[in-house]
Structure 1
Amino acid sequence: MTLPAGGDRLRRTCVVGGAGFIGSHFVARLLSDPETEQVTVYDNFSSGRDWHLEPVADDPRLSVVRADVGDLATLTETFRGHASAIHLASNPDIAAAVANPAIDFDQGTLLTHHVAEAARMAELELVLYASGSGVYGDLGEVEAAEDHGPMIPTSTYGASKLAGEAILAAYAAMFDFTVRAFRFGNVVGPHQTHGVGFDFVRRLLEDPTRLRILGDGRQSKSYIYVDDVIDAVLTAGALADTPFDAFNVATGDYVTVTEIAELAMAVLGLEPGTTIFDYTGGDRGWKGDVPVVRINTDKIRSLGWSNQRTGPQALRDSMSSMADDARAGLLTT
């Protein structure tokens, strides 16, 4: 597999958070191109896993740096010699901020500032940033395009992602490198370590008779397969020629939480109606949760990108992989 045309800067890439769910897929995709020269994983392995990298561990073009993004000196030194960085490091548990609201500053905004500063000092050409649809806040059925305003996040996670975009946009303008921010739907696929599908599969394997579901089950969002996300990011990254731009990345269809529970049952071979769904009530899963997410994807599609799986297909394939991991003893938080 080859990188998109114009992707020369991606041939020497540092993947920050590269041992995690999404990061490990980026690493494998980059290394699948025979013209890729160097891929470096920079990860503290707090949520990343060694086994995520096992398929490419013997590739001589791969280096792994076990360090924290909070260590600015090590991050900067690691960036030297690379042309681009893919920044995926952040708090992976959105709901954790209910009990610890500082987590998204400490493990989000601050880390993104370090990535921006290291990119400046190491003279990177390109930074690709994993933002999120949480930057838009709670818009109900309104479909948000990238220029929607004002953006009023309802979670510290969304606020952290929006602050990260602002920091990177300012650095790109002031210090002559290029940034692309990507506002993903909910990303699913092999190697997941969190998320509603992950939770449902794990709980149903423990007790197939009952399943606790946060909220009323009618929360409706976009779910996108990790391979489609990588295609979008690399496509936009290869074409990047202005200091900053942002792209929504989603499938354009939507799935409710109850539908995900039913898909999880089907994946595990459980007959419909044999599991009791215990709803906690209310219209959202936790304080700060956005129950309905609608984002417009015309901009990324105008670059030639299209998703290869629908949301339900992405969830089914993802949860099937999780079930396989569980049987192999790999499904861990």
Structure 2
Amino acid sequence: MNIIITGGCGFIGSNLVRKLSKNKTNNIVVIDNLSSGKLDFIKEELKLPNVNFIKKDLLKDDLDECFCKAKQIWHLAANPDVKSSTIKRKDVFEQNVIVTNNVLEQAKKQKIEKFIFASTSTIYGIAKQMPTKEDYGPLKPISIYGATKLCSEAMICAYSSLYSFRSFIFRFANVVGLNSTHGVIYDFVTKLKKNPKELEILGDGNQIKSYIYCDDCIDAMILGVKKANNNVNIFNIGTENWTQTRKIADIISSLMNLKPKYIYAGGKQGWAGDVPKMMLDISKLKKLRWIPKYSSDDAVKIATEKLIKDC
């Protein structure tokens, strides 16, 4: 199987490369511009004969040659920072919407079989239904990041219908784990390494969200792609529990053997565009016999341990 993974040197992408490369019948081409991803994340996989890397800018470069003969495209390349998307609006629009359109054009040209997309829980905005199902609406994202992902989803649905390839849209809860370079765990660990005596927490600490370990997330994606057979398949990926931001601070402080003073900033919302409460309904994936191995709290603990070890 000829597989393209865009953003394959990033957090989730690198973990996906590691998993898919274990199947020697998969011929994997990783495409990344290394603006935020790191080649070091897939250095062991690049030693394998079935994994190749191409440095390309999906926004500006010619893509015909590197997508040639692709049968599956796993599109994970994106600007993933929800917080900064309010400031870097043009960049995020280009990197998330225009790039997705460019990759969809390649899907059309190559007559691919399957298009797999990493979406987000932020497309739901501040949902009134909790846990939130895939058919919840109306969809009202409150961040530029969420809006760009929702726009990309619409484009994928249109291309999939018009050009007869199967698409899979996975809406992630907060994914944590190996190779993460942003998010609350990374933020807290970084802050405490700089100043072990106090920890700034954006918001009032009462934000409560679902966290999923990256291995669970990838297993869910692979299973969904294998078993679902609609023209467009949309799945939530998360856990059936959640973790309060203050508890995350407690977990990280304990694992670092610290007792910092917590400094709260930003009111109930951590920042403009932040969704303070989130849990996804994962019953659709459970019907395919997937369940996460780790709870939300366990995902936070394991991800923190790995980050502390790697720092």
TM-score of the superposed pair, with normalisation by structure 1: 0.91
2:203 & 2:4 partners in 1: Cα distance?
A: 39
Aligned partner (choices 60, 64, 72) of residue 71 of structure 1: 60
Indicate yes or no: 2:9 matched with 1:19: yes
Offset of residue 259 of structure 1: 0.7
- Counterpart of 2:270? 285
2:90 & 2:128 partners in 1: Cα distance?
A: 26
2:123 & 2:2 partners in 1: Cα distance?
A: 30
Which runs of structure 2 are paired with 1:1-16 in the superposition (5 Å)? 11-16=1-6
**Deviation per residue, 1:139-174 (Å, 9 max, x gap):** 256321111111111111111111111100000000
- Counterpart of 1:225? 213
1:178 & 1:236 partners in 2: Cα distance?
A: 12
1:151 & 1:29 partners in 2: Cα distance?
A: 32
Indicate yes or no: 2:294 matched with 1:305: no
Whether the 8 Å contact between 2:30 and 2:51 is mirrored in structure 1 is yes
1:188 & 1:196 partners in 2: Cα distance?
A: 9
Which runs of structure 2 are paired with 1:110-259 in the superposition (5 Å)? 110-140=98-128, 142-259=130-247
Aligned partner (choices 62, 68, 72) of residue 51 of structure 2: 62
Whether the 8 Å contact between 2:85 and 2:145 is mirrored in structure 1 is yes
Offset of residue 72 of structure 1: 5.7
Residue identity matched to 1:300: L
Residue identity matched to 2:304: M
Indicate yes or no: 2:73 matched with 1:85: yes
Offset of residue 13 of structure 1: 1.0
CA gap of 1:251–1:59, structure 2 versus 1, over 3 A, is same
Whether the 8 Å contact between 1:69 and 1:114 is mirrored in structure 2 is yes
Q: Which stretch shows the higher mean deviation, 223-232 or 93-102?
A: 93-102
- Tell me the SS of whatever aligns to 1:324: helix
Which runs of 4 or more aligned residues in structure 1 lie more than 3 Å from their structure 2 counterparts after TM superposition? none
- Tell me the SS of whatever aligns to 1:192: coil
**Deviation per residue, 1:246-284 (Å, 9 max, x gap):** 1000011111111111111122122xxx21000004111
2:61 & 2:257 partners in 1: Cα distance?
A: 48
Whether the 8 Å contact between 2:46 and 2:53 is mirrored in structure 1 is no
Q: Which stretch shows the higher mean deviation, 59-68 or 98-107?
A: 98-107
Indicate yes or no: 2:310 matched with 1:322: no
Residue identity matched to 1:167: M
- Counterpart of 1:28? 18
1:50 & 1:173 partners in 2: Cα distance?
A: 35
Which runs of structure 2 are paired with 1:42-53 in the superposition (5 Å)? 42-53=31-42
CA gap of 1:141–1:276, structure 2 versus 1, over 3 A, is farther
Residue identity matched to 1:303: L
- Tell me the SS of whatever aligns to 2:47: coil
**Deviation per residue, 1:175-197 (Å, 9 max, x gap):** 01010000000000010010000
2:111 & 2:152 partners in 1: Cα distance?
A: 19
2:266 & 2:182 partners in 1: Cα distance?
A: 22
Offset of residue 79 of structure 1: 1.7
RMSD: 1.2
1:120 & 1:166 partners in 2: Cα distance?
A: 16
Offset of residue 71 of structure 1: 3.4
1:34 & 1:113 partners in 2: Cα distance?
A: 30
